Structure 1
Amino acid sequence: MFAPQSDRVALRFGDRSLTHASLAACAGSLARELTGLPRVAVWATPSLETCVAVVAALLAGVPAVPLNPKVGERELAHIVADSAPATVLAAPGVDLPAGLDSVPRRDVTLDGDDPGSFADPGDEAPALIVYTSGTTGSPKGVVLPRRALTSTLDAVAEAWQWTADDVLVHALPLFHVHGLILGVLGPLRRGGTLHHLGKFSTAGVVEALEGDGTMMFGVPTMYHRIAEEVGTTPALAAALGKARLLVSGSAALPVRDHERIATATGQRVVERYGMTETLMNTSVRADGDRRPGAVGVPLPGVEVRLVDDAGSVLDGAGPIGEIQVRGPNLFTEYLNRPDATAEAFAGGWFRTGDVGTRDADGYYRIVGRKATDIIKSGGYKIGAGEIENALLEHPGVREVAVTGEPDDDLGERIVAWVVAAGDAPPSSEELADHVARLLTPHKRPRVVRFVEALPRNDMGKVMKRALRT
């Protein structure tokens, strides 16, 4: 799964780094201790230790469950019960929440010296279990086999002309597909380098790209902040213009931000389309037409189609339909959820729930969600149902509906429409803090609107489109 060992820097976090050879040595030592375990959790701080932990689990053939360090107590309890990790891997000195008290802790150190070989568990063996929010209920554990990781990383490498000479710069979290699989395992498979900024800032981007950085990954929230500054910050414009490739994902990048960055730098951002269950599906190629609003063509080995509401395949350019995907990039199952797994597929095709169109030359564009209950905010895909359930536990909330609305910075902001219980409604800040405590901070509502009643149809279902209008 990884490139041969070398003395080239593999990972750089601040002033700490590991070469490919030293990474293999310390990850190999840890892998010996993990071999035979059913699965492990990884407390995924932005650190060398997180990368070593994930690499060690992959070497040992043990599925790893990355945990968001900002996870709320409710989500953490569900993930621990659902995935039943045998141990949790964490950097020394990092405090873990009480929700992990029942899981034995194993500190990850960088002093191992065993780069030995390990048996290949096979392409279908589970590599990672990444939890993602659905439209209702608790997060589902997406079981990603090893072939999904390797096929996706090789496909994007071909599309982006990614080689061992590239130094990838990003500041993405390490508990989801974009930051961990593409952003960490991608450079390691190519034999190149990851330069992780720790925390996103335009100053950090300038420093990294003025140095040896050749590529940058980001989400639209990051590129929006760049777009806000790049026209008046010559150093930022020059650094971005020097990069070989700028890639945006996780949500649509507004055309206005595309154009502001292109005008200031001469560099157009490449967009791609993927999700936790499928990893990467399509991308604009490095040598292709980088047109704003388009997510490119299917990646090598991936089949993409559009279907109408009746399930009929839509041919040609123009029609809008649900995007369905088939290929080696697909997940195996939702952990412990056979019914949800079966419902997600239609004759071997994964039903993404996203709606899109296809241009005459095969470029895809994402129109939105087939359902109205997925909100893409700040690079995260968030289920409205989770937030509604959490808000309903607050004594000051009688009824609630959660929607998303456009936001220049976040892509979409979370809006809670609340029917208060009692004469003194809780404050917006109180409700936002309540959600952040139970779930995670990025799922808190950015706007709370109090209403007398929620609009409902004859069946009692809340009509969210009526709220938006």
Structure 2
Amino acid sequence: MSREALFGAARALAERIVGAPAVAVRADASLGTVIATLGGLLAGVPVVPVPPDSGPLERAHILSDSGAALLVAPGAWTDIGLPTTTVDPAARSAGTLPEPGPDATALILYTSGTTGPPKGVSISHAAIAAGLDGAIEAWDWTADDVLVHGLPLFHVHGLVLGVLGALRTGSRLVHTGRPTPAGYAAAGGSLYFGVPTVWSRIAQDPDSARALAGARLLVSGSAPLPVPVFERVAELTGHRPVERYGMTETLITLSTRADGERRPGSVGWPIAGVRTRLVGEDGSPCAHDGETVGELQVDSPTLFQGYLNRPEATAATLTTDGWFRTGDVAVIDPEGRHRIVGRASTDLIKTGGYRVGAGEVEGALLAHPAVHEAAVIGAPHTDLGQEIVAFVVLAPGAEVSERQLVDHVAAGLSVHKRPRRVLFVADLPRNAMGKVQKKLLTD
């Protein structure tokens, strides 16, 4: 679909929904989702993307909590309690609507926490613009690019970066429906977005991976990219992936650069306009020595407006001087490179008086040829406070003992960072974006 036709269809929808307090969109991987989202943005109406696979309880919570007055493209959903409307890709309007102000809410995205129902994250037009412009600069993204991805359109990665980014640059976009290796290989793009699960599957499909050799840039985000996957993708495609970091509440904040060094495990430097700092448990600044672990805090024009209808939850995420507490722990090296260790709640393990990042132990495990996937948690321990426990998925046909893996980690890292227990499992629980759900492992 041409840009002209897309905006014509979106304007036609915008004229039908202008003035609504918010509109929900059944955000499947379709052109209708793109038209509906753009229509809401043009109308100045907050758009609420709803996962197409959401169950009745989750869907009812999102529709009620968001205050949406209308559901666009309901598909097969029934008994939703809201008026509905469809998207007509053939509709056209050349009319104009007032430009929404920069502080107007553009999107309300729902994120799930470890407890309670999902929270609505309100994101302004200005925040989206700042995040996209920072990514565009970091990745040398231009209108000459062809972006390819197959990511869900109800998350920041697929919708904001992967759709609105293409519209902001004027580049073409090919959405593959699902992020399959064959789909990526056939798309003929210059710029590819994927989550680690996508790149892992591509690394296991050499023919599809080699088809990406003609690309300009491969970008990975939403979760840490395992070092073996990074290295295998680089070997097969000739491209060292760009790794980046962000959250729903902060959009994109950190990235390695198209024209810079790309080290496995590094998510690079702040994009334009973003400031970061590392803070210890006592509130003091952490050294930028590449070893000291601290909570990552962000001050940025990309920050969210707050959690919808939850002022207390919003206030709890902000420091007294207005910085956002990401809840992630990281290290920063002397040159300013950032490496995310994991979530403070699940990935900062306090064992025997030491502070150990789960990501570092996972990386050491993944360096063993018998290990296909690994996830590390801290489990309660009467003597140590927490003990390091590793869940390991073995590579097909591989054999290794628990003792061999413990010794392997102890040989590469400090001895106190070795797992006390290794549990062999068939797979790891993941969410729709490929992130391991460590709460389930802890349980």
TM-score bin, normalised by smaller chain:
0.7 to 0.9
Supply the distance in 1 between the matched residues of 2:183 and 2:57 (Cα, whole angstroms): 34
Q: Which runs of 5+ in 1 are unaligned?
A: 1-17, 377-383, 385-402, 410-431, 450-463
The question of whether the paired residues in 2 share the 8 Å contact of 1:86 and 1:104 is answered with yes
Cα distance, 1:135–1:446 mapped onto 2, change above 3 Å? closer
Structure 2 equivalent of residue 47 of structure 1: 30
Deviation at 1:117, TM superposition (A): 2.4
Deviation at 1:365, TM superposition (A): 0.2
RMSD: 2.9
- The equivalent position to 2:336 in structure 1, one of 345, 362, 366, is 362
Q: TM-score, normalised by structure 2?
A: 0.79
Cα distance, 1:310–1:52 mapped onto 2, change above 3 Å? same
Q: Does 1:113 align with 2:87?
A: no
Structure 2 equivalent of residue 388 of structure 1: none
Structure 1 equivalent of residue 132 of structure 2: 153
Give CA-to-partner distance per residue, 1:20-56, whole Å, 9 cap, x none.
1001111011101111100000000100000000000
The question of whether the paired residues in 2 share the 8 Å contact of 1:356 and 1:364 is answered with yes
Supply the distance in 2 between the matched residues of 1:202 and 1:143 (Cα, whole angstroms): 34
Supply the distance in 1 between the matched residues of 2:196 and 2:118 (Cα, whole angstroms): 23
Structure 2 equivalent of residue 303 of structure 1: 275
Give CA-to-partner distance per residue, 1:279-317, whole Å, 9 cap, x none.
001000000101100001000000011100112222432
Structure 1 equivalent of residue 10 of structure 2: 27
Cα distance, 1:447–1:128 mapped onto 2, change above 3 Å? closer
- The equivalent position to 2:311 in structure 1, one of 319, 324, 338, is 338
Give CA-to-partner distance per residue, 1:155-181, whole Å, 9 cap, x none.
100000000111100000000100000
Structure 2 equivalent of residue 353 of structure 1: 327
- Three-state SS of the structure 2 residue aligned to 1:225 is helix
Task: Please identify, of 244-253 and 131-140, the stretch whose mean Cα deviation from structure 2 is larger.
Answer: 131-140
Structure 2 equivalent of residue 265 of structure 1: 237
The question of whether the paired residues in 2 share the 8 Å contact of 1:227 and 1:257 is answered with yes
- The equivalent position to 1:134 in structure 2, one of 113, 116, 122, is 113
In structure 1, give the amino acid aligned to 2:76.
D
- Three-state SS of the structure 2 residue aligned to 1:365 is strand
**Number of equivalent positions:** 372
Structure 1 equivalent of residue 259 of structure 2: 287
- The equivalent position to 1:323 in structure 2, one of 289, 296, 317, is 296
Written as runs of structure 1 = structure 2, the 5 A alignment for 1:21-420 is 21-90=4-73, 94-98=75-79, 100=80, 102-209=81-188, 213-230=189-206, 233=207, 236-318=208-290, 319-346=292-319, 347-372=321-346, 405=391
The question of whether the paired residues in 2 share the 8 Å contact of 1:135 and 1:373 is answered with no
Deviation at 1:111, TM superposition (A): 1.9
Cα distance, 1:295–1:440 mapped onto 2, change above 3 Å? closer
Supply the distance in 1 between the matched residues of 2:335 and 2:343 (Cα, whole angstroms): 23
Supply the distance in 1 between the matched residues of 2:286 and 2:62 (Cα, whole angstroms): 38
Supply the distance in 2 between the matched residues of 1:180 and 1:262 (Cα, whole angstroms): 26
- Three-state SS of the structure 2 residue aligned to 1:372 is helix
Cα distance, 1:217–1:107 mapped onto 2, change above 3 Å? same
Cα distance, 1:268–1:97 mapped onto 2, change above 3 Å? farther
Supply the distance in 1 between the matched residues of 2:101 and 2:155 (Cα, whole angstroms): 23
The question of whether the paired residues in 1 share the 8 Å contact of 2:222 and 2:435 is answered with no
In structure 2, give the amino acid aligned to 1:289.
E
- Three-state SS of the structure 2 residue aligned to 1:217 is strand
Cα distance, 1:103–1:352 mapped onto 2, change above 3 Å? same
Give CA-to-partner distance per residue, 1:110-166, whole Å, 9 cap, x none.
122213322122111100000001221111000001111000001100000000111
Supply the distance in 2 between the matched residues of 1:66 and 1:309 (Cα, whole angstroms): 36
Supply the distance in 1 between the matched residues of 2:440 and 2:41 (Cα, whole angstroms): 43
Supply the distance in 2 between the matched residues of 1:214 and 1:116 (Cα, whole angstroms): 34
Give CA-to-partner distance per residue, 1:239-285, whole Å, 9 cap, x none.
21111000000000000011111112211111000010000010000
Supply the distance in 2 between the matched residues of 1:131 and 1:363 (Cα, whole angstroms): 30
The question of whether the paired residues in 1 share the 8 Å contact of 2:42 and 2:100 is answered with no
Q: TM-score, normalised by structure 1?
A: 0.75
Deviation at 1:443, TM superposition (A): 10
- Three-state SS of the structure 2 residue aligned to 1:188 is helix
The question of whether the paired residues in 1 share the 8 Å contact of 2:202 and 2:209 is answered with no
In structure 2, give the amino acid aligned to 1:225.
R
Task: Please identify, of 113-122 and 78-87, the stretch whose mean Cα deviation from structure 2 is larger.
Answer: 113-122
The question of whether the paired residues in 2 share the 8 Å contact of 1:26 and 1:115 is answered with no
In structure 2, give the amino acid aligned to 1:351.
R
Supply the distance in 2 between the matched residues of 1:208 and 1:111 (Cα, whole angstroms): 25
Cα distance, 1:225–1:440 mapped onto 2, change above 3 Å? closer
Supply the distance in 1 between the matched residues of 2:59 and 2:266 (Cα, whole angstroms): 36
Q: Which runs of 5+ in 2 are unaligned?
A: 349-357, 360-376, 378-388, 396-427
The question of whether the paired residues in 2 share the 8 Å contact of 1:129 and 1:144 is answered with yes
Supply the distance in 2 between the matched residues of 1:345 and 1:174 (Cα, whole angstroms): 28
Give CA-to-partner distance per residue, 1:413-437, whole Å, 9 cap, x none.
xxxxxxxxxxxxxxxxxxx9xx99x
Cα distance, 1:321–1:97 mapped onto 2, change above 3 Å? farther
The question of whether the paired residues in 2 share the 8 Å contact of 1:26 and 1:114 is answered with yes
The question of whether the paired residues in 2 share the 8 Å contact of 1:72 and 1:440 is answered with no
In structure 1, give the amino acid aligned to 2:317.
A
The question of whether the paired residues in 1 share the 8 Å contact of 2:346 and 2:438 is answered with no
